[in-house]
Copies of this chain bind each other. A is one copy, B any other.
Amino acid sequence: MSLLVTGSIAIDTVKTPYGVSEDCIGGSAVYFSMAAGFFSPVRLVGAVGSDCPFDFDKVFAGRNVDLTGLEIRKDSKTFRWIGSYQANMDDRTTDYIELNVLAEDPPMVPASFKDSQYVFLANTAPVLQLQLLQQLHKPIFVAADTMDFWIEGHLDDLTMLLKKIDCLIINEDEARLLAKEHNLIKAAEKILGMGAWSVVIKKGQSGSLVCDSGGNKFVLPAYPAAEVKDPTGAGDSFAGGLMGYIAQTGRTDFTTLKTAVAYGTVVASFTIADFSVNGLTSIDRSDIDKRFEDLRKLTRF
């Protein structure tokens, strides 16, 4: 099935207690595509500037990612992010940011992508997420991410977006902020009341909580990973595994969503084991399936 992602492509510099990764590839659309590509062909929509040092054909070689929607803008510069993680690997600091191409008009959805059935709108201005969505003919299942900046400053747009998507994939602090409610079960219920059919709340090392408007609930711990070198991209690769599995199966019921969240959890656990996308480029689908069964065993009682 056709899975489209719109999001950022970044030049990242990341410092963690395990080392520094300079000018490496990052961005939500990159992590998402790498992760989703294990399950389903992916259509990437994103933009970079002429300074971008990455050979995308090489980056995504053999990875099932259609780059027709990748714009390389001659007079623009690529989004840059420099960040660091403290010893606990949870607290992240943005040391430097250059929006560059992300502050310009968003990339267009190519004509050949407009029939996409499964869609992930990575974090950006809700008004842009809405514009991107309007370019699609008739998507079956749309998921979106957002962040505190849009919740605090652009709530009207975000509320409009929530009525048009099927699943909000959001971290716990943002869920609390959006719902104005600390308890996550109550927060999830409030968010469902805003429109989306389902909400997936990411709790980092504490796993995730999934609720739908039919009253179904699912709680899953994170995969107990002994190796954590760089948490960057965990959330976007989680979303990639999740949406990739949904697109692969072509089903959108709650049972499928639960399995999809488990696959997202597993893919994210590979992402954080190494810097940049290295944790994903060094594995294949059989590694994911093996760890998926392991996670099932680890949580079964």
A interface with B by C-beta (< 8 Å): 87-89, 182-186, 203, 205-207, 209, 217-222, 224-226, 228, 258-259, 261-262, 296, 298-301
Contact pick for A220, options B185, B205, B301, CB 8 Å: B301
Q: List 12 other contacts, CB 8 Å, given A207-B221, A220-B221, A258-B301.
A: A88-B182, A183-B228, A185-B224, A185-B226, A206-B221, A217-B298, A218-B298, A218-B301, A219-B221, A219-B222, A259-B301, A262-B301
Give the complex CA separation of A258 and B300 in angstroms.
8
Contact B224 A219 (CB under 8 A): yes
25 A-B pairs with CB atoms under 8 Å apart are A87-B182, A88-B182, A89-B182, A183-B226, A183-B228, A184-B224, A185-B225, A185-B226, A203-B206, A205-B206, A206-B206, A207-B207, A207-B221, A217-B298, A218-B298, A219-B221, A219-B222, A219-B224, A219-B298, A220-B221, A220-B299, A258-B301, A261-B301, A296-B301, A300-B300
Contact pick for A224, options B209, B259, B262, CB 8 Å: B209
Give the complex CA separation of A83 and B90 in angstroms.
28
What is the copy number of this chain in the assembly?
2
Q: Given A203-B206, A221-B207, is A226 in contact with B298 using a C-beta cutoff of 8 Å? A: no
For A226, the chain B residues whose CB sits under 8 A away are: 183, 185-186
Q: Which are the 6 A-B pairs with shortest beta-carbon distances?
A: A206-B206, A219-B221, A185-B226, A258-B301, A262-B301, A185-B224
Contact A206 B207 (CB under 8 A): yes
Closest to A87 in B: B182
Give the complex CA separation of A206 and B207 in angstroms.
8
For A185, the chain B residues whose CB sits under 8 A away are: 224-226
Give the complex CA separation of A182 and B207 in angstroms.
17
Give the complex CA separation of A209 and B261 in angstroms.
20
Give the most central of A87, A205, A262: most B CB within 10 Å: A205
Contact A217 B224 (CB under 8 A): yes
Give the complex CA separation of A250 and B89 in angstroms.
40
Give the complex CA separation of A219 and B300 in angstroms.
9
Q: Given A87-B182, A205-B206, is A221 in contact with B224 using a C-beta cutoff of 8 Å? A: no
